[in-house]
A and B are shown apart, each in its own frame.
Chain A
C-alpha cells in the first residue's frame, strides 16, 4: 500500500512571503514555493525558518527550524510556484520570529515531509476534529474530502476566528463560551459518535485532546487518525528526536507520522509535546 506522501527536494530552499493575514490570535502566512512539489498531501508538514534573522532572539534562539502542517496549497495564479498557507501562533522564539514576517520577506523551508491522512474506511463518513491551531491540517483535508463534518474547539473568541477558514459551517465550541457553547470539542465528538458511530475520525490538536479522542474512538470501535506533534530537529528522520511510543515501540513522527493510526497507540500523551 503506497503511503500518502509527496516527496520533498533534498535541500532547504527559499520561498517569498506573499501574504500575512491576522486572524484573531493567529497569523495566516502565505508563501510562494517556486521549487517544491505542487501537490503536498493533507497532513504533511514543512520545516520553516527565516532566510535571515533566525537566531539572536530570546535566549539566543531560535536555532532549529520549526515544523508546521500546511493549511492549504494551491497553484499560483500569477507566475510559477505553489502558494502555501501556514497558520501560526506566536508562543516561543521561533514562532515569534515567524509571526513578524512581512510580504516580500524571504523564508526558508524544507518539505513536504511525513505521511499525511489516509482515506476514510469505505462506507464511513469523515469526521474532522480540531483543537486550536490543530485546525490547520484539517483545512486542506476538508477541501479534498466531500461533505466532511468539522468540529472545532478553541480557547477564546480570538482563537475561534480560525473557524472562518473552513468551508460550510463548522461546529465551534470554546473554553470560555465566547463563541458557541462552553465545552470541549471532545464533547461534540462524543455526542456525534453516539448519534452515528459509522465514521472515520481525523483529529489534530493538543496532546490531551488527542488522547481524549483516542479513548472515545477506541471505546466505540471507531477508526481514528491523529496528526501528532513532538519536538523535532530535522523533519526527515535524521535526528531520532521526535519519537512517540506505539504498540510496536518508538516511531519517528517525522517519517512514520505525523499522522498516526490511533489503534497503534496506548496513549497520545507525548512527553515534551507543546514546548
Chain B
C-alpha cells in the first residue's frame, strides 16, 4: 500500500491529484494492450472518459494527426458508441477496471470515474447529464462545451452567456458534481469560467486544445481530414498556465489544470497557479505510465506556501 496522497475534489475523494485529460486515454483499449498490469499500475488518480454524444459517431476522416514542434495537432472528431452504447458496454467495463485498480489505495480514496459529455443543443446535453448522472459508477460529469450549439450557431464554451444557459439547463438534471471544460479559444476564458460558476458549475477544467492547422507538404492543402484540429503538448503549456492562473484568480470553485504537463515540475507549476488538480494528456501518448511518473515527481516537490515535506523526501 502506498502513502496517502489523496485529495478532495468537489466532495469526491481521489487517491491523488493527477487525472487524465478527456480523450487522451482509453482504459478498455489499454487493457487489451497491457492486460492486468494496467490495473496493477493504473496511471491516473481519477479517470475521465472520452466524450460521449447522444448518437454514435465514427469520428473524422483520416489523416487525424500531425506532429508539431513539441506537440501534436489532432482532429479525431469524438468517435464514440453513443449514449446508449456507452452506458450498456463501455461504462461497466471502465468501472470494473477502476474498481480493481483502486484496491490498495490509502484510506477510502479510490479512482473515481468522470464522464465527459457533449450535446449539440442544451436539451441534448441535459439528456446526457441526466442519464450519466443516474449511474452509480459515475462520480462526476464533465461538460465538453467546445462545440457549436446548433440552435444558435455559437460555440457554447466560447461565450459566457451560452455557457451560463447550458449549465443552468443541465444543473437540475443531477446532484453529482459538474465540471465545465473550458476552451482556450474563447476571447476571455475567465469570463466564461465565471459564467459557469454563476450557473452552478462545481469546478472548471482547462485547457482544451488550441485550434490549429497544418498543410500537406506537397499539395499545400489542409493535411488533416477535417481541415483543422486542436494543438496539444508542451507547445501549449505556457498559454495553458496563464489561462489557469487567470481563471483560478477569478472563480472560487476548484480548477483542474492541464496543457502540456510532462513533468512533476510542470504539475507543481499548475498547482501553484491555483489549480486543485492536474491532468496529463499528450504526454501519455509518449509513455502510458507518464502520469505515474509525474505524480511521483510531484510528491518530491514542495509547493510555495505549503508545509515542507518530511526531511527524508528532500533531495
Contacts and interface: CB of A to CB of B under 8 A. Distances in A.
Interface stretch (A157-165, A174-182, A187-195, A229-237): A229-237
B252 interface: no
A248 to B, nearest CB: 10
A63 to B, nearest CB: 5
Task: Among A62, A235, A244, find the residue whose CB has the most chain B CB atoms closer than 10 A.
Answer: A235
A236 B62 contact: no
Interface string A216-235: 00000000000000111111
Contact of A238 (B41, B284, B292): B284
B233 interface: yes
Interface residues of B, number: 46
A271 B69 contact: no
A111 B24 CA distance: 18
B85 interface: no
B72 interface: yes
Interface string A54-69: 0100011111110000
Contact of B70 (A11, A63, A113): A63
A49 B223 CA distance: 24
B33 A113 contact: yes
Nearest to B56: A249
B286 A49 contact: yes
A60 B70 contact: yes
A271 B225 contact: yes
A7 interface: yes
Given A236-B288, A237-B26, A238-B25, A10 B43 contact: yes
A115 to B, nearest CB: 9
B26 A10 contact: no
B37 A240 contact: no
Given A10-B43, A11-B288, A63-B70, A238 B223 contact: no
Contacts of B188: none
B69 A61 contact: yes
Given A63-B68, A236-B33, A243 B62 contact: yes
A210 interface: no
Contact of B65 (A11, A59, A241): A241
Contacts of A8: 33-34
Interface in A1-22: 5, 7-12
B250 interface: no
B38 interface: yes
B29 A7 contact: no
Contact of B29 (A11, A243, A255): A255
A5 B76 CA distance: 26
Interface in B265-287: 282, 284-287
Contacts of A55: 70
Contact of A65 (B65, B76, B286): B286
B71 interface: yes
Contacts of A11: 41, 287-289, 292
Contacts of B63: 231, 271-272, 275
B289 A64 contact: no
Contacts of B34: 7-10, 236
Nearest to B72: A233
B26 A238 contact: yes
A212 interface: no
Contact of B62 (A59, A244, A249, A255): A244
Contacts of A7: 33-35, 37
A37 B76 CA distance: 32
A3 B58 CA distance: 24
Contacts of B290: 12
A10 B69 contact: no
A239 B76 contact: yes
Nearest to B66: A231
A270 interface: yes
Given A10-B38, A233-B72, A270-B62, A238 B24 contact: yes
A237 B287 contact: no
A107 B26 CA distance: 26
A273 B2 CA distance: 44
A46 B9 CA distance: 37
A109 to B, nearest CB: 10
List the 6 shortest-distance A-B pairs measured between CB atoms, nearest first.
Answer: A237-B29, A272-B63, A11-B289, A60-B69, A12-B287, A241-B65
Interface of A: 5, 7-12, 49, 55, 59-65, 108, 110, 113, 230-245, 249-250, 252, 254-255, 270-272, 275
